[in-house]
Amino acid sequence: MNGILSRLKKPSCQAASKGCAPCLPGKPCESLSWGFYVFLAVILGASVLSSVRFSSPVKVFLAGEVASQDVTAEQTLRYEDREATKRKREQVSNNQPPVFDLSLDPFELLSKNVLGILALVKRNEEDQEKLRASISEDLNVEISRDTFSTWRSQEFQDVVTLQVLPWLREAYARGVAANPIMFAPYKQGVLLRELPSGMETLHLEGPAVLDMERLKEELDQLLRRDLKKNIRVRKAVFALTGPYLVPSIVYNQGLTQERKREIVESMEPVYASIHRGEMIVRQGERVTADQQSKLQALYAHRGSFLKPLAIPGTFLLSCLFFVLLHLSHGKKSGIRAVSNRDWLTLAAVTAFFVLLAKFVELARISEAHLPVFLKTGQVAFGLPVAGAAGVLAMFLPQALCSFAVLLLSYLVTNEVGGNLYLFSYYMLGGLVYASIIRDCETRQDVLRSILPLAALCVVSWLGIALVQDNAGELTLAGGVHAAFNAVFSLLLVLGLSPILELVFGYTSRFRLMELMNLEQPLLQELMVSAPGTYHHSVIVANMAEAAARAVGANALLAKVAALYHDIGKLKNPQYFIENLYGKENKHNKLSPSMSALILISHVKKGVELAREHKLGDEIASLIGQHHGMTLIAYFYHKAQEQAEAKGEEPVREEEFRYPGPKPQSKEAGIIMLADAIEASSRTLVDPTPSRIRGHIQSIMRKLYNEGELDGSELTLKDLTQASETFHKILTGIFHHRIEYPNLDKSKNKDKENGDKNAAPEKAA
C-alpha cells in the first residue's frame, strides 16, 4: 500500500519548474499518465474475459421421449424452424400459378396441311382413287368418295380458304384448351403466356378460352347456321380439318417447376425465438416436435469456449466511451486531465465488477437446477453497479464519474449477456445514485439515500418487466433483486469508500467534515502556538467557503484547506507578523534572503505536516499552491536596497519567489485570493466599504496580471462574484462601532474603583 501511495505522490513530470502543477494526485499531467495505460489494460482484460463463455452441455431429447431433466435456454437466439420453413415453402409452391403456353403454331400447321391437301386434290386429275387412299392413310381417317369429290369443288375450297380458316385463326388466337376442366384444379389462377411475344396474363378464375369440344360445336354452327351449308359440306370440312384440330394452350411443366424453385429459394426461412431463461422442457414431460426443434437449435448454437472476434469488438466499443470523456472536457486536455490516482481507482473498481459479473455469468452452468430466484437473468438485476457509481462520485469529478458509469454499465451488461434493457437499468441507477451521493454531506445522508435508490431500481425493473411481458414468478424475483440492489449499493458505498480513501489517498466529504472540527490536534496546536495565524486561517476559511459557493466550486474543500493552509507556520510561529503581539520582530536581525527562506519554507513544511497527519492529498496540494509563485516583495526590495548600498550585484528575483505550483483549481485560486486579501486588509488605515472594495480589486488585479490565476479555471465572472463575497465579509469584520454616551464617566468610575477590566466597547 505504501508503495502505491508513494508512487502516486511522486511527480512524473517537470511541470513544477514551469509554474504549473506537478503530477500530484488529482492533478493532470501534460501527457497521458501511466495510470491511463493501467486502466486500458484492465479494459483489454475485461474484453478477453467477456469472450470466454462457459456453458453447460445441452441435452437433446427426440420427439416422443420423456425428458430426464429440465432444460433451460442459456442464451437468447433466433433459429431456423425447419418444419415451419418446409410448410411455408410447400404452401408458397402450391400457391404459385402454373404456366400455360398459348401458341398459334397448331393453327399454322393446320392451315398449311389443309391448303396443301386442297391444292393436291384440285391439281391431280389422274388416279383419284389412289390419291384418296393415300390421303386417308396420311390422315388415318377413311375419306369417302363423296367427301373427296366435295373437296375438289371450287365452292368447297372457297368456303375453306375464305371462311373456315380465318374463323379458326381467330379461335386459335383466343386459345383452345384440351378440355373444359383443364384449369379447374388451379384455385390460385393460371399464367397464360403468349408465344412468341412472351407476354403473360394472370387469370385468377381461369382464362375464357375454347376447349376442343366447344371449338367443334362453334365450327359446326358457323357452317350450318351462318354459311347455310348442307351436311355434305359440313362433313367434308370436318373430315379435312378434324385430324389437325389440336389445343393451342399447353401446360409448360418445365417453366412452372423452375419458377416454383426460384420463388422457394428466394424465400426467407421461418425463424423462431428462444429467450434466455426460457424453460424448453421439464423433467418428466413428453417431448414434442417443437421442443425437439428448440433443443436441436440450442445444441447447434451452443457457445464455444472462446470467441476471438469478441475481444477487439468489446475493446473498440469500450474505447468509444473515451471519446465521450474527451469531449466532455471541452477545450481542456481531455483524458490527459485525469490523474494517475483516478485512473487506478477506475481500474480497480472496473476489475472488481467485471470479475463479479463473470462470477454471476458462471452460474449459468448449473442454472437448470437453480430456483427462479437464483437464475442469472434475475441475479443480474442485483449487481450493485449503482453502488460503484456512488463510490466514484465521492472522489471523482462529475464528467469522469459519468464516463465510468456508462463504461461499467456496458462491461457488466456484456459480461452477464444482458440486453439493452439491462444496460439502461444499470446506467439510470448509476447516474441517479451518483448525483444523490454527490449531494450527501453526512453519513446519515448516505444512509437515507437507500430509499430513493430502492424506489428507482424497483420502478426500473417493473418497467422492463412490462416491456418484456414478464409476469408472475419472474417479476417477483427480479423485483426482489432490484430492491436488494439498493441495499448492496449502500453497503458498497459505506464499505469501499474508506478503503479507496486509505489506499489512494482521497479525501472524502465525510473526511473533510471531520477535519473541519476545531478539536482536530493540528488546529488546537495552531490555536495555542500561533493564535494570530489561527485567527487569520478561520477568517480565510469563511471567505473561501463563501466565494467557492458563489462560483460553483467545492465550498467544503475550500473551507477545510483554508483552515489548514498556514499550518507550516507552526514550525516557526514567532517569525510571522500576526503572532508577534508587540514583541520584537526577529526579521530585523536577519538578512532579507534568510527571511524570505523562512517565509517560503512554511509552504513546504505545511505540505509535510499535512501528509504526516494524513489530511489527504487534496488538502496537501492546496496548501502547496496557496502562494503560487508570488514574489515576497518587502524582502526583495529590501535586499535590492542593501545590494545597491554595498555596490553588490543585483539580487535574483527567483530567490524571493514561492516555488509554486500556481493554483490549478478554482478552490486553490480562491484560497490564494482570500489569503492575500485578508492579510493585506489589516494594513488599511480607515477600512471603509469603498476602500475595502478598492483594496480587494487591487489585490485581485495584481495576482491576475502576474498570471498566478492562469491555471485556476477562474473566469472573470467568477472573480467578480468572489470579489463581492469578500467585500461583504470584510465589511462585516471592519464595521464601525458606535460610541457609548457615558463612555468618559464610565472610565472615571472604573479608575476610582480600581477596576482593571477593559471597557465594554473594548470587550466588544
pLDDT digits (tens, 9 = 90+) for 297-334: 876 766 555 677 778 888 888 888 877 776 765 544 45
pLDDT at 717 over 70: yes
Grouping H, G, I as helix, E, B as strand and the rest as coil, residue 176 is strand
| 363 touches 355 (CB < 8 A) | no
- 335 and 417, same domain (yes or no): yes
Query: E strands within 316-447?
Result: none
Number of domains, the chain: 3
Whose CA is closest to 453, among 541, 408, 388, 504? 388
Using CA atoms, how far apart are residues 281 and 288, in angstroms rounded to an integer?
9
Domain that holds residue 600: 511-736
**278 in a domain, yes or no?**
no
Cell digits of residue 95: 400457391
pLDDT at 736 over 80: no
pLDDT, tens digit, 9 for 90 and up, residues 650-678: 888 888 999 989 999 999 999 999 999 99
Using CA atoms, how far apart are residues 710 and 664, in angstroms rounded to an integer?
8
Using CA atoms, how far apart are residues 153 and 449, in angstroms rounded to an integer?
117
**543 in a domain, yes or no?**
yes
Which of 251, 267, 293 is the C-terminal boundary of a domain?
251
Which of 205, 220, 251 is the C-terminal boundary of a domain?
251
- 587 and 674, same domain (yes or no): yes
Residue 165: which residues within 8 A CB-CB, separation 6 or more? 111, 114, 115
| 70 touches 279 (CB < 8 A) | yes
Residue 463: which residues within 8 A CB-CB, separation 6 or more? none
In this structure, the number of other CB atoms found within 10 A of the CB of residue 119 comes to: 11
Can you name the residues that pair with 99 across neighbouring β-strands?
A: 191
- 596 and 693, same domain (yes or no): yes
**575 in a domain, yes or no?**
yes
Residue with cell 437466439: 77
**214 in a domain, yes or no?**
yes
pLDDT at 56 over 70: no
| 16 touches 603 (CB < 8 A) | no
Type of residue numbered 113: N
| 382 touches 484 (CB < 8 A) | yes
Whose CA is closest to 695, among 734, 646, 748? 734
Using CA atoms, how far apart are residues 370 and 692, in angstroms rounded to an integer?
75
User: Alpha helices, DSSP H only, in 242-339?
Assistant: 253-265, 289-300, 310-328
Write down the pLDDT at residue 8. 44
> What is the residue-wise DSSP string for 272-285?
EEE-TT-EEE-TTP
pLDDT, tens digit, 9 for 90 and up, residues 469-488: 665 545 577 778 888 889 99
- 153 and 227, same domain (yes or no): yes
pLDDT, tens digit, 9 for 90 and up, residues 22-44: 444 444 444 567 888 898 899 88
**544 in a domain, yes or no?**
yes
**85 in a domain, yes or no?**
no
- 329 and 469, same domain (yes or no): yes
Using CA atoms, how far apart are residues 460 and 381, in angstroms rounded to an integer?
10
Write down the pLDDT at residue 658. 93
Cell digits of residue 662: 500556481
| 233 touches 159 (CB < 8 A) | yes
pLDDT, tens digit, 9 for 90 and up, residues 522-545: 999 999 999 999 999 999 999 999
- 669 and 599, same domain (yes or no): yes
Which of 504, 533, 566 is the C-terminal boundary of a domain?
504
- 541 and 496, same domain (yes or no): no
Q: Residue count of the chain, please give it.
A: 764
Cell digits of residue 256: 412452372
Helix, strand, coil fractions of the chain, as percent rounded to 5? 65, 5, 30
- 35 and 177, same domain (yes or no): no
Residue with cell 499535512: 610
- Lowest-confidence region among 67-71, 386-390, 463-467, 627-631: 67-71
pLDDT, tens digit, 9 for 90 and up, residues 408-421: 999 998 888 788 88
- 544 and 591, same domain (yes or no): yes
CATH of the domain at 584: 1.10.3210
Whose CA is closest to 673, among 635, 736, 626? 626
Can you name the residues that pair with 66 across neighbouring β-strands?
A: 286
**750 in a domain, yes or no?**
no
Please give the helix or strand (H or E) that residue 634 lies within, else none.
Answer: helix 633-646
| 610 touches 567 (CB < 8 A) | yes
- 598 and 456, same domain (yes or no): no
Cα 139-145-149 angle, rounded to 5 deg:
95
- 489 and 518, same domain (yes or no): no
Write down the pLDDT at residue 467. 81
Q: How many CA atoms lie within 13 A of 520 on its CB side?
A: 20
| 375 touches 367 (CB < 8 A) | yes
- 523 and 671, same domain (yes or no): yes
Whose CA is closest to 145, among 155, 159, 133, 161? 133
**58 in a domain, yes or no?**
no
In this structure, the number of other CB atoms found within 10 A of the CB of residue 458 comes to: 19
What is the phi/psi pair of residue 101, to 5°?
A: -95, 135
Can you name the residues that pair with 716 across neighbouring β-strands?
A: none
In this structure, the number of other CB atoms found within 10 A of the CB of residue 225 comes to: 9
